[in-house]
Structure 1
Amino acid sequence: MEQNKRYRPNVAAIVLSSKYPEKVEFMIALRNDVANAWQFPQGGIDEGESPKEALLRELKEEIGTDEVEIIAEYPEWISYDFPKVIAKKMYPYDGQKQKYFLVRLKPKAKIDLDTKHPEFKEFKFVPYKDLFKYITYFKRPIYKKVIDYFKKKGYI
């Protein structure tokens, strides 16, 4: 009998620089607890919280600002399993069920990784052609699927 998997409800933000739409640059951040793990900001959805509320709270907690404009929302939830090394840390969850948002930093927004509980130690903006040189291996297929959707819809 197959075990039922438990997925943590989560939001993820594809953060574009304030130069969008003239210049498309993706913000990625380097985790401080996993070697060479670059990713988009993301985090769990609290009980009673909507995905959009969680998005803004998580951005504030992880990158020090919620000064963003929501451009688009991916229409479906996407699930993935954690690699074994991460699954231990995330017990009792086997993976995450994520809602993705495409957002643009407002012109005066300031990213500050020195938050109450820092998750990242570095960030940078990269063009699409360089994005997957950095992103941690197990997130690449999902990121590609979501970004391809936003490209197809004309947002990127």
Structure 2
Amino acid sequence: MAVKDRDRFSTATRIRLIGEQTAARVYRSQTKRQARRSRLTGRAALLALVVCSMVVALAYPMRQYVSQRADIADLQREQDAARQRVERLRDLKARWQDDAYAEQQVRARLHYVMPGETGYIVIDPGAAEQPRADRGSADRPWYANVWDGVDRSDAAGR
């Protein structure tokens, strides 16, 4: 029977029949692929929507968390610096409790002398040739710096 059918149909009819069968197969495979693709696209869209909503929901709290952690770190650094400063001040207070240290500081800073001693202030001959503003204030006694400040403010007022 297959031989009779083949003889009965012309070549053009056979080619047309093969084309229709191929088109039907292609159409069925495209329909399946589109159905599968649309199903995956819907799932992907839902997943993307869930991920985006999670990101939006967690963005502000995460920013606040990071900001607060940075603030905590800054405050801890400040606290450590304050502790170190307190320790230095306690050490300085303990030193000033010692009479020998206080006497040494009074002699050095205020140029005090003990009864029976003679105090001298040695002036560098080269320093006298320099203008007053160029001389370092640390090299001179405190009262000279105070008096120079008074002179400068008086001259600025004129």
For Structure 1 versus Structure 2, the TM-score category normalised by the shorter chain is under 0.3
Larger Rg: 2
Q: Name the structure with the higher helix share.
A: 2
Whose strand fraction is larger, Structure 1's or Structure 2's? 1
